A and B are shown apart, each in its own frame.
Chain A
Amino acid sequence: MSTLLQLQDVSVSFGGFKAVRDLSLDIKKGELRCLIGPNGAGKTTALDLICGKVQPTGGQIRLGDVNVTDMEDYEIARAGIGRKFQIPSVFKQLTVRENLEVADCRNTGVFWNFFHAPGGSERSLEELAEFVGLKDHLDEPAEYLSHGQTQWLEIALLLAQDADLILLDEPTAGMTAQETRKTAEICLQLRGKHTIIVVEHDMGFVKEIGDVISVMHQGQLLAEGSVAEIEKDKKVREVYLGTSGISHA
């Protein structure tokens, strides 16, 4: 399969501190990649680099044939990258339905949008809400949703956006075991149609969904491979030393 996303020796430093150094990743079209690593390893920063929130100080990022390294964040989004942030960020005063309508961003033009009513694809947005169990909350402002529901809304927003590449930063944080399983299920359903990078701490979750796992440590790529390979990897064990292996990371 062809490569969708390619990072070549990407680095970034914040005031001299190298949060990510010489990171190279190769993500195939349709792949579901897990990115793990201890706190502060630079996983969130890696996603920030990909979606243009942070400008790299070195290296190159390519999405398909497009060099997105120096593009503005909204241009990168248009090129086909969607992002879920670690801290839930939805539009609080808008209803669930309105949130989904904003996320339906096939047409981003100012003039078009000021001359069209929202709700071009009402039906499918409602199906989406049903898919994540928010159908009965469609007309509630997002600020009244529980933490778990907000996470679900975020996932629905990503589905509505329908980006080629989806970046998920700790999507199961604060979820119950049952909800985590449902998130894993959604990820599995998305694989193939979308390419996904998930940053996750929950090893159960990673084992359930991961094909290839990339492990980061101190801003660098430490290891890459299947779940079994990673669990055997010496360096990875060292990093997670004292926590009796990555299963409890």
Chain B
Amino acid sequence: MATTVNFMKSKMKTKTIMQIAVYAAVCLAILLLPLYAQDDFLLNRIARYLVLAMVAMALSLSWGYAGILNLGQAMSFGIGSYCMAMALKLRTVPVHTGTEGLPDFMVWNNVETLPWFWKPFYSMPFALLAGLLIPALIACILGWFMFRGRVTGVFVAIITLAAMIVLSLLIIDQQQYTGGFNGITDLAQLELFGIVFDAYSSNTYFLVAISLTVCLFLALALTKTKGGLILQAIRDQESRVRYFGYDVALYQTAVFGVSAAIAGLAGMLYTVVMEFASPTFLSVQLSLSIVIWCAVGGRQSLLGAMLGAILVAGMQGALSESEVFLESWTLIMGGLFVLIVLFLPNGLASLVDIAAERFRRRQHDATTQDEPAPSAELSEGKL
């Protein structure tokens, strides 16, 4: 019996090790890609997909692991991207409008002095922290009210969606301070520790790839903690978790905040890659796309959600480029989404599990032929 237990234990460990190996292999492939693709435009486009993959991964953390369907994921993303854009815009001021000047769009809107909430963004460390912490803080406050009030399921989706729409309307409305519909464009390049991150350079690509790798592994580590297990238990049977004494709302708020921080970081990187920030980054369309990427790749797998984003966004990019598919890619994506939801409810990532299960069964069949006494019978007898 002791050997069976050890075997089981080692099997679990092997599973985790395999998982880490696969995650590491994918990240390595991403990091090594510039060796083979030296076209800066291609790298820029892939970097863009990697950023989107990061948001999808963040959603997988809250939706797939904790059962919180956040339809406002793009809100955190958008806030992050605006934080970065504000900081980079201020760096252009001396060039565009002189040292005592204002961002150009403010001048066009007859704004006289820099609004108070722009001032701290002269400091790049502040901007970086803000891009992470403001989305996290907003998510925590929103989450606190929702989860304390035991709001669940579709109502969480509606509230998060509504919050995002409110913020995006506010941004569009306050044109003189936010650039309105046009967003914040014409930015300086990000410069950190003496390295310049030109959107069309391998520097930026590596910045994105490394950030993605770090976030992916941090998120993976989080899911492997006891807290990660409790989150999954909350997803499966929320009320039961309470009767073990866990404050469910706190756990939900925590994962909601972490997910928002990752989305915020992704948003900052998106501004660097795209060289602008715009209200479309907080759009319903983007939020729904993130959900689709997650569902297609497999929301219960961080890597699955990530690859789902790269795959779908990549296909979208490729298809909408060709004349034939320009109009019909939405249809193709919709069809793909429906097919996957119907036949692979856990997304493409579940193909791996299905294959592993088949393999295990075949091996099991092979071994049980030599070992005629399956222990299942013994344990049945004990009952």
A interface, CB within 8 angstroms of B? 51, 53, 73-75, 77-78, 82-83, 85, 89-94, 97-99, 101-103, 105, 108, 110, 113-118, 122, 126, 133-139, 148, 152, 161, 178-179, 182
Contact = CB atoms under 8 A, between A and B. Distances in A.
B237 A91 contact: yes
A43 to B, nearest CB: 17
Contacts of A148: 383
B29 interface: no
Interface of B: 1, 4-5, 8-9, 11-12, 222, 224-230, 232-233, 235-237, 239-248, 250-251, 254, 375-376, 379-380, 382-383
B233 A91 contact: yes
A124 to B, nearest CB: 13
8 contacts: A51-B243, A89-B240, A93-B235, A94-B229, A113-B227, A118-B225, A133-B383, A138-B8
Contact of B244 (A103, A122, A182): A103
Given A91-B240, A94-B233, A97-B12, 11 more contacts: A53-B239, A82-B244, A91-B232, A94-B236, A99-B233, A105-B246, A110-B227, A115-B227, A117-B224, A139-B11, A148-B383
Given A93-B236, A118-B229, A136-B379, A108 B222 contact: no
Contacts of B12: 97, 139
Contact of B248 (A74, A85, A137): A74
B186 to A, nearest CB: 41
The 9 A-B residue pairs with the shortest CB-CB distance in the complex, in nearest-first order: A114-B227, A77-B245, A113-B227, A78-B245, A91-B236, A105-B244, A118-B226, A113-B226, A74-B242
Contact of B236 (A92, A103, A178, A182): A92
A99 B232 CA distance: 10
Contacts of A103: 244
A102 B248 contact: no
Given A110-B227, A135-B5, A77 B242 contact: yes
A102 B244 contact: yes
Given A136-B375, A182-B383, A93 B8 contact: no
Contact of B4 (A74, A93, A105, A136): A136
